[in-house]
Structure 1
Amino acid sequence: MALDIIGYLIIFGGAFIYGFTGALTPGPVLTAVISETPKRQRGYLVGPLMIVGHAILEAIVILAAFYGLINLIRIPIVYFIISTVGGSILIFMAVQLFYEMKKKEISLSSEIEKSKNKKNSIFKYSPVIQGIILSISNPFWILWWGTSGFTYMFYLFERVSLSGMLEFLYSLGLISIQFSWVVTYFFGHISSDFAWYSFVSISIYKGKKVISDRTYIVILICCGIFFSYLGVKFILCAFVPELKNILII
């Protein structure tokens, strides 16, 4: 049973950590949270509420991907294509992130400035609706899930081997092990979004600067390094599948 719990912790923890590579990246949701928080009576709820809308979309995407691709991913050529394409795009994202930081095009201050100049009819809707609209219209979100997000999700599923009591319950038809993986991954992933955007909206609501630009850049550098590591790892595993059981995370 302990091994079963460890398996779920691996999926939840991996999804949580990897989720920050998407959550921390500047985009329309961050801009909206920064812009809307000071305008509302309970501004500290803006971040979490936008992520509720964001989570609705992600639940649909994860379920659709899982039930549509879980069998395809086991086909060697499909796994090879997804791993190499997903890994290549991850490396590209890392290079682009480092390039923009070098040119000083990314900073939390610039995101705050964008929010001050933002005039869009989208802001007349509730934070939940904004979270849905801004997420689905964000190219990065679509690209992230379409490549590296799915690649990492299926990597975690393949890595975890459940046994013992859960397998016994599954044989009786009382639970679905595969569905439990999806639920665990979803909550692990969305927890990183809730953690980051709650922190942002609560900090702004209390009149504090969220974090310094220097700290924010350091965080993004860590994300870039993580992008690079996973990109190289996915490509290596595509050519040498045995490495999946050796390389960490």
Structure 2
Amino acid sequence: MICADCAPSRRPSCPMSELFGIALTWWLISLSGILMPGPVSAIAISEGARRGVIAGPLITVGHVAAEVVMLAVLAVGLTQVLKQSAVVGAIGVLGGLVLSWMGWGILSTARSNIQVGTGPAAGAGRAGFSLIRAGVLTTVGNPYWLLWWLTVGASYFVLFSRFGWLALVAVFYAGHMMLDLAWNSFLALVVGSGRGRIPPVAYRVVLGVCGVFVLAMSAYFLISGVRFLNAR
């Protein structure tokens, strides 16, 4: 029999190791969601073709702005309000209408005599603001983005909150934001780097595919929103 004094002491878990483990799973889960095709990705591709590589970062600014608001919502504890079926349904319907408007706009551009690479710089004036606005609208108009943050995001918010605000900002949110920025910039880079070398008809095809996809997503959001409203 081993006495208490001779028994090996139990080493406490290292907070930094625990934080790293939680962060790794959070980044992987975030990446899996970011890589799924969605309206933000479609806009990054279509606007990358029209305006160049800078479209990716500017769209991400709008996306990030929406997520900053969501982070504030999680911080003040309003998640129960946003989990109500009526709220989620209304967001889905409004988001579907916005995406429908954006999808038709993309298709209209695809049908026009687009001159790739001859338009105004994306970062200048109203053009840059329109990309930021597109990032906001395609984000908040997606009811499943809302549900994802109110379930998966909220769960990880609680986990990271144990390590303080620095971990929440620098690891939880900044890590997720950098993944968004990298992916949207990559999509815009892939199509934007070919501007001037690929015939305009190829860009019309890209825009057309993106427009159809955004319209399909709008129908999906509208149907889902109506279902949430009927579930009250």
TM interval, short-chain normalised: 0.5 to 0.7
Which residue among 190, 194, 199 is the counterpart of 1:209? 199
Which residue among 18, 26, 29 is the counterpart of 1:10? 29
SS of alignment partner, residue 141 of structure 2? helix
Residue equivalent to 1:112: 115
Residue equivalent to 1:224: 215
- Fraction of identical pairs, as percent: 7
Residue equivalent to 2:3: none
Q: Whole-Å Cα distance in 1 between the matches of residues 104 and 59 of structure 2?
A: 28
Q: Whole-Å Cα distance in 1 between the matches of residues 192 and 88 of structure 2?
A: 36
Residue equivalent to 1:68: 72
Using a 3 Å threshold, how does the CA distance of structure 1 residues 73 and 190 change in structure 2: closer, same or farther? farther
Superposition pairs for residues 1-249 of structure 1, below 5 Å? 5=24, 7-16=26-35, 17-18=37-38, 19-25=40-46, 31-33=50-52, 47=53, 49=54, 51-56=56-61, 58-63=63-68, 65-70=69-74, 71=76, 73-76=78-81, 79-80=84-85, 82-96=87-101, 105-107=108-110, 110-112=113-115, 116=118, 118=119, 123=121, 129-130=123-124, 134-137=127-130, 141=134, 144=137, 147-148=140-141, 151-160=143-152, 161-162=155-156, 167=159, 171-173=162-164, 176=167, 180-204=171-195, 207-209=197-199, 211=202, 213-237=204-228, 240=231
Using a 3 Å threshold, how does the CA distance of structure 1 residues 77 and 192 change in structure 2: closer, same or farther? closer
1:12 Cα offset (Å): 2.7
SS of alignment partner, residue 109 of structure 2? coil
RMSD: 4.3
Q: Whole-Å Cα distance in 2 between the matches of residues 59 and 140 of structure 1?
A: 11
Q: Whole-Å Cα distance in 2 between the matches of residues 52 and 139 of structure 1?
A: 9
SS of alignment partner, residue 198 of structure 2? coil
Structure having the higher Rg: 2
SS of alignment partner, residue 107 of structure 1? helix
Q: Whole-Å Cα distance in 1 between the matches of residues 206 and 163 of structure 2?
A: 51
Q: Whole-Å Cα distance in 1 between the matches of residues 190 and 145 of structure 2?
A: 25
1:107 Cα offset (Å): 0.9
Unmatched runs of 5 consecutive residues or more in structure 2: 1-17
Q: Which residue identity lines up with residue 15 of structure 1 in the other structure?
A: I
SS of alignment partner, residue 105 of structure 1? helix
CA deviation string 1:126-149 (max 9, x = no partner): x6x43x853324585276157315
Q: Which residue identity lines up with residue 85 of structure 1 in the other structure?
A: A
1:228 Cα offset (Å): 2.5
